[in-house]
């Protein structure tokens, strides 16, 4: 591989959407941010220079960061944030991965405007395992807030209530014609007939899982989270926040007499407010540019907002390619088993405050096994563990199963209060882990897209209701389970994953719905160094930010 250099200048920029102009934080004045492209095996050196008063750090979502955990990016997990006037070079090598990933700010809600595509091409002369596309097109799904996203989360955390919903969904930053005064801000995909396009779909929305479709066109799914899958056809794709999906779009053989809407709209089963509106873009055949006004627009339809059956069936369609070139290396023997009950809960309202949370005297919280995570603020977990071992800012007693098991998807127990803490699970190098993620019904049954840093995992099983350890493991798929970095735990159900802990460092695992992360739905794995020299975390770089 070669070394590729990028510079990210974090700077302010005035942007007008929905008829309002506001100042947002951007990378290089672009919204969405610049595309980063590399090939498998390349070294990336991305210098991030912070010119704004907000602290920042950037996460390379889905990059394994083998032994380079210092470049992973979550603030207070692997690094202290980059302050105004400071810079930091994210230096990492892309090993054993190719496909569509993305990058985003990883501090508070800065990722609302600070995000962009990260495209890893196959090694030179290595073909895709599907027909070579004529063109490839990244499409980022996002959310637009008229208010400052930082103010939205601050208000939610202070009042204890749910956050205000965003004001629009977007394709590559554009809300499209179904929103007020946004017809000129419409994403248009111009195509030629009879060609195959590779659409690199990225859900960068903060809080919304999104259905996506294009009128009168079938999509062939070929990749998820930068892992090839057995191709399958669908009209509607579902992506949780954080997930990426590559689809092939085969255009009509001859010029059609119409243009076509592409739409995205949420899938949501919880309570509270989300932005239940639709972003539209236009798929247009190229010769229509002059006379497109006279063409009819064909509109597709999408499943109802709470279509859990569609969501669950769609999730089940994914299988690893499991070919000789791209095998599925599913761990067959499990060293450690964990059971995590994940969901929303409540915290008591502090005495001197009024809270508008679920019972008026409580605040929303979110937890894994009843622990609602708090980040340190004077150092990062990684520095604390691998540099200053005597000054650990965390405890290693994260509960490996719920303390009091209950009927997770039935009526929740009375006391759903969670405790707050900075707790981790420590794993020896090369441990094989099996983890059951069980959704719970506290405060309503909601889906959770769970993202693991530092690893891909195999999704060996999933189902509705309570996981049954005597019955369900018998049906695990150990042959061609999908490999991902973010998996949707269906509303009212569970998912079982396996991964090999072959990457020393501290790795966050969290719900990629941003408000759930803000409420504490996260934990961290500490993976210890192995004995051999090439099994150890590399030392921190000299420009590593200080708190």
**Which C-beta is closer to ligand C2O: that of 174 or that of 509?**
509
Cβ neighbours, 10 Å, residue 221: 20
Smallest gap from Cβ 116 to ligand C2O, in A, equals: 12
Smallest gap from Cβ 59 to ligand C2O, in A, equals: 5
Smallest gap from Cβ 449 to ligand C2O, in A, equals: 10
Smallest gap from Cβ 356 to ligand C2O, in A, equals: 28
**Which C-beta is closer to ligand C2O: that of 423 or that of 453?**
453
**Which C-beta is closer to ligand C2O: that of 106 or that of 423?**
106
Helix (H), strand (E) at residue 38: strand 36-39
From 404, 416, 439, select the one nearest 511 (Cα to Cα). Answer: 439
For residues 262 and 255, give the distance between their C-alpha atoms in angstroms, rounded to a whole number. Answer: 18
Taking CA 76 as the corner, what is the angle to CA 58 and CA 399, rounded to the nearest 5 degrees?
A: 120
DSSP for 384-418 reads: HHHT-GGG--SBS---SS-SS---TTSSPPS--B-
Smallest gap from Cβ 241 to ligand C2O, in A, equals: 8
Contact by Cβ (8 Å): 99, 69? no
**Which C-beta is closer to ligand C2O: that of 110 or that of 262?**
110
- For residue 33 the two structure tokens come to 């941010």
The site for ligand C2O (CB under 6 A) is made up of: 59, 61, 74, 104, 106, 242, 451, 453, 508, 510, 512
**Which C-beta is closer to ligand C2O: that of 78 or that of 491?**
78
Beta-sheet strands, E only, within 204-290: 209-214, 219-224, 227-234, 236-239, 244-250, 258-267, 279-285
- For residue 7 the two structure tokens come to 């510079």
What's phi and psi for 223, nearest 5 deg? -160, 145
- For residue 173 the two structure tokens come to 């930053």
**Which C-beta is closer to ligand C2O: that of 90 or that of 260?**
90
Which residue is closest to ligand C2O by CB?
Answer: 61
For residues 112 and 32, give the distance between their C-alpha atoms in angstroms, rounded to a whole number. Answer: 10
**Which C-beta is closer to ligand C2O: that of 106 or that of 484?**
106
| DSSP structure class, residue 82 | B
Smallest gap from Cβ 195 to ligand C2O, in A, equals: 32
Smallest gap from Cβ 37 to ligand C2O, in A, equals: 19
């Amino acid at each position: 591989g070669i070394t590729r250099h990028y510079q990210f200048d974090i700077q302010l920029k005035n942007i007008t959407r929905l008829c309002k102009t506001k100042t947002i934080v951007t990378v290089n004045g672009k919204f969405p941010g610049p595309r980063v492209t590399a090939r498998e095996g390349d070294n990336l050196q991305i210098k991030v220079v912070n010119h704004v008063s907000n602290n920042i750090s950037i996460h390379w979502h889905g990059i394994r960061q083998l032994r380079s955990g210092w470049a992973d990016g979550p603030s207070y997990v692997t690094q202290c944030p980059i302050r105004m006037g400071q810079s930091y070079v994210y230096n990492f090598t892309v090993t054993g991965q190719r496909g569509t990933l993305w990058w985003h700010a990883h501090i508070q809600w800065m990722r609302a405007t600070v995000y962009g595509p990260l495209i890893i091409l196959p090694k030179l002369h290595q073909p895709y395992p599907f027909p070579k596309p004529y063109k490839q097109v990244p499409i980022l799904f996002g959310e637009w807030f008229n208010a400052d996203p930082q103010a939205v989360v601050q208000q939610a955390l202070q009042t204890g209530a749910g956050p205000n919903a965003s004001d629009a969904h977007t394709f590559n930053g554009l809300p499209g014609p179904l929103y007020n005064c946004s017809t000129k801000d419409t994403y248009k995909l111009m195509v030629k007939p009879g060609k195959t396009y590779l659409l690199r779909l990225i859900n960068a929305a903060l809080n919304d899982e999104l259905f996506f479709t294009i009128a009168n066109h079938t999509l062939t799914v070929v990749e998820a989270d930068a892992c090839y899958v057995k191709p399958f056809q669908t009209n509607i794709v579902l992506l949780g926040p954080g997930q990426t999906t590559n689809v092939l779009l085969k255009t009509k053989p001859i010029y059609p007499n119409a243009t076509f809407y592409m739409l995205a709209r949420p899938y949501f089963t919880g309570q509270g407010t989300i932005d239940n509106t639709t972003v539209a873009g236009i798929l247009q055949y190229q010769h229509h540019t002059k006379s497109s006004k006279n063409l009819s627009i064909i509109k597709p339809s999408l499943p109802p907002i709470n279509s859990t059956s569609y969501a669950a069936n769609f999730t089940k369609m994914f299988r690893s390619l499991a070919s000789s070139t791209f095998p599925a290396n599913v761990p067959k023997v499990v060293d450690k088993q964990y059971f995590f009950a994940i969901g929303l809960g409540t915290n008591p309202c502090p005495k001197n405050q009024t809270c508008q949370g679920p019972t008026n005297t409580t605040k929303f919280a979110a937890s894994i096994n009843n622990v609602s995570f708090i980040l340190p603020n004077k150092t990062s977990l990684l520095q604390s563990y691998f540099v200053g071992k005597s000054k650990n800012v965390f405890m290693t007693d994260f509960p490996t199963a719920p303390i009091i098991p209950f009927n997770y998807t039935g009526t929740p127990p009375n006391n759903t209060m969670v405790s707050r803490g900075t707790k981790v699970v420590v794993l020896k190098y090369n441990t094989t882990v099996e983890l059951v993620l069980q959704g719970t019904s506290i405060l309503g049954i909601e889906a959770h897209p769970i993202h693991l840093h530092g690893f891909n995992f195999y999704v060996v099983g999933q189902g509705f209701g309570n996981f049954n350890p005597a019955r369900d493991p018998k049906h695990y798929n150990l042959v061609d389970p999908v490999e991902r970095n973010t998996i949707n735990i269906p509303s009212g159900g569970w998912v079982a994953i396996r991964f090999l802990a072959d990457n020393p460092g501290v790795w966050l695992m969290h719900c990629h719905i941003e408000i759930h992360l803000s409420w504490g739905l996260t934990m961290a794995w500490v993976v210890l160094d192995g004995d051999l020299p090439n099994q150890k975390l590399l030392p921190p770089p000299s420009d590593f930010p200080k708190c």
